[in-house]
Each structure stands twice: as C-alpha cells, then as structure tokens.
Amino acid sequence: MSLVERVYQTLMAAMDRGELAPGSRIIAAEVAQQLDLSRAPVREALAVLAGQGLVELLPDRGAVLRPMEQHDLAEMYEVLAPIAALGLKAAAGRAQDGDNPALIRTAMAAIREAAANPGEGVAFFQALNNFHYVANAIAQKPYVDFVMRMMQIEYWNRLLVAAIDLDRHAPQYVRNYQRLTDALLESDSRSAEAVILHHVDWCVRLLTPPASE
C-alpha cells in the first residue's frame, strides 16, 4: 500500500470513529503519529489527496477534509455514470466466460446481504462498489477501475449514508442491481448500459429534490 493510500485509509477510519467530518481540519502531526512517520511525507500525501479532490488546502486552516453538499454528490453520480457504463457494457460481452457468471451472482448476493442491514450503510455502498469492481475485472477494463477509485468513492460512500435514507431506498437499489445482474448474465450490453444510466438518474433525483415553489 502506498503512503497516499495509507493516509487515505487513516482518514476514512477517523471518519468512522467520529473523529473527522467533512470540513474538519486534518492534523498532519496526528496522522503521522498514527502511521509512525514524520510530518513531511504526510504533508506530501495530503497534497496528493488535495489534487484528487479529497482534501482542501486552505491558507488559514491548512488541510481540511473537503465538504460536499448533496448537489456535489449528485454531480459525482453524473460523472461516474458513463465511466461505470463503459465497464458494464464490456463485462456483458464476457459475462458467460469461465467462472464469471458465479462471480457476478456472488457480487449480487453480497448486495442483498448488505441491504438486509441498512444500518450498516457504508458496507451497503461498498457492496455496490464491489459489484462494479467485479464487472470491471471481467471486462478487463483496469482503467475504468482506476478512474472509479480515483474519485474517492470510499469517502463518497460515507456521505451518501447521511444523504440517502437506506431504510426506504435500499430495496430499490437491490431491484436496480438485480436488473443489472440479469442484463450481464444475458450478455446484453445495451440493457446493462440502460439500467445503470436509469439507476443513476434515480439516485440523482434522490439527492436533488425539487425546489419548493
């Protein structure tokens, strides 16, 4: 694991413990102590994460975890949609090769299992992410996987938990991904693309309720 990845995982763990929230200042000395490093490499890693959009470097506060509003989350979905669709379309063409049907079904089963406990929201969104990572591996599209991970999806997951009522909406997520699973297993690339784009439109609507008149 690279230094940047270690710092990133340390920040995510701090969020999970309630020690860090969007907009919070990141104390490089504390991160360095946790990783048994000096401050200089941690500051360098934070600069890289700033370039990737996770961290903001402010003149008066130093490094802070980038805050995101619901409209920012919706825009992330819109950016991710065509990237995810590229991987899914290619995966449909290889879905029946070797053990791929079993891999797809296992990824879908993990989504259903996670949906049964919506209180563990981060795990649910991670199961959704993993479905795409499995599809990207089947598709042999490593750059799709790379771009998705570069969008700091693990941070995004934690914000989605607060923004989307999974008690209410997890069943629809499951239905959408079951349709996606069916399209992949039928080697239907057009349907796979249509399903993921429809799903993203639905997610964007959840995050951008109509303005009151």
Q: Helices in the chain by DSSP H: which ranges?
A: 3-16, 28-35, 39-51, 70-94, 100-115, 121-139, 142-150, 153-163, 166-185, 189-207
Burial tier of 58 (Cβ tally within 10 Å: 0-12, 13-18, 19+): exposed
Query: What is the rounded average pLDDT of the residues 75-95?
Result: 96
Q: Tell me: the pLDDT tens digits for 116-152?
A: 987 889 999 999 999 999 999 999 999 999 998 888 8
Domains of the chain, CATH where assigned: 3-65 (1.10.10.10), 70-207 (1.20.120.530)
Residue pair 60/46 in contact (Cβ under 8 Å)? The answer is no
In this prediction, residue 1 carries a pLDDT of 75
**Structure-block tokens of residue 28:** 């490089």
Query: What is the rounded average pLDDT of the residues 71-84?
Result: 93
- How far is 21 from 24, CA to CA, in rounded Å? 5
Q: Backbone phi, then psi, for 26, in 5-degree steps?
A: -100, 120
Q: Tell me: the pLDDT tens digits for 146-163?
A: 998 888 888 888 999 999
In this prediction, residue 102 carries a pLDDT of 98
pTM of the model: 0.88
Per-residue CA distances from 130 to 58, 145, 159, 211 (Å): 34, 10, 18, 34
At residue 202, does pLDDT exceed 70? Answer: yes
Top pLDDT among 77 and 60 is at: 77
In this prediction, residue 211 carries a pLDDT of 56
